[in-house]
Amino acid sequence: MVINDKTTLKNILRGVDGTIGFVPTMGALHDGHISLIKKARAENDIVVVSIFVNPTQFLEGEDFDKYPNKTEADIKICQLCEVDYLFMPDITTMYDKDEVLVKAPKIKGFILEGSKRAGHFDGMLQIVLKLLNLVKPTNSYFGKKDAQQLSLINQMVKNFYLDTNIVECDIVREKDGLAYSSRNVYLTKEQRKDALYISKSLNIAANLIAKGELDSNTIQNSIKNTLEKAKQLDIEYIQIVDRSLNILNKVKLKNTIILIAVKVGSTRLIDNIWI
């Protein structure tokens, strides 16, 4: 069932008897999203998916106006995945002209992705808070590919005493190793070949760690050397942090994320590996 109105959604979900699993998305659904939806379907009585391309998390000059729109395909995917309710609001449904604002943490919201995209996490947290308050899910499903986003959402849930369980879901990759992203469609054939160096570099780093190498500088240099083999790839950052986004000089086993952000041509991609 497709719902566009927030009052209708609230009224329907208010009468639900059982657990609610929620998957918030910006549409252009791919296998990464599908894995979240299937996990929600397996673990809950009711599944809600939202599709909303949130304007407040796009900065000037980013791809808001050309973000992939695949409405008919997205609705069909949700039907096939047995989604109970698909929430597809417009901007006027989700935002007033003069709103109370949510602000990202002063440090963790302005490092890594936040250092390049000041204000991005303010908008992301704003819409996620709205959606969680509308749906009031038992379990909310987010992918590990957006690791910094996931960490900040966990912090918001904790700081604002939100009554939902955040389920962290593993990255899903295409057959060639490229992490699924709605922006992959922007890549030319040659750019896609270069983009494969991202996952290659992470796999090399994982192998180094498996052999006992824990020094962050050594691991970062290995990743950099691999990425620099690509012709159309510009490195924005390579960083090694713990689950709380604190920068690490030494890898902590079971508490480390290696993060990469690059531009391949004009397309910005992120990826990571959890150690």
Is the pTM here over 0.75, yes or no?
Answer: yes
Residues of the chain with CATH 3.30.1300.10: 182-274
33 annotated active-site? yes
Taking only the tens place, the pLDDT of each residue in 151-196 is 999 999 999 999 999 999 999 999 999 999 999 999 999 999 999 9
Q: Cβ atoms within 10 A of the Cβ of 5, count? A: 12
Note the CATH number of domain 182-274.
3.30.1300.10
> Can you give the pLDDT at residue 118?
86
The pLDDT, as a whole number, for residue 64 is: 86
Alpha helices, H only, 54-188: 71-80, 91-94, 113-116, 120-135, 147-159
* Residue from 30, 33, 108, 117 carrying the catalytic annotation: 33
Segment 101-125, tens digit of pLDDT: 999 999 999 999 999 888 999 999 9
Comparing CA positions, the residue from 59, 60, 62, 55 lying closest to residue 26 is 55
Phi, psi of 95 (to 5 degrees): -135, 140
Domain 2-169 fold: Rossmann fold (3.40.50)
**Does residue 62 have a pLDDT over 80?**
yes
Ranges in the chain annotated CATH 3.40.50.620: 2-169
Token pair of 38 as six digits: 């299937």
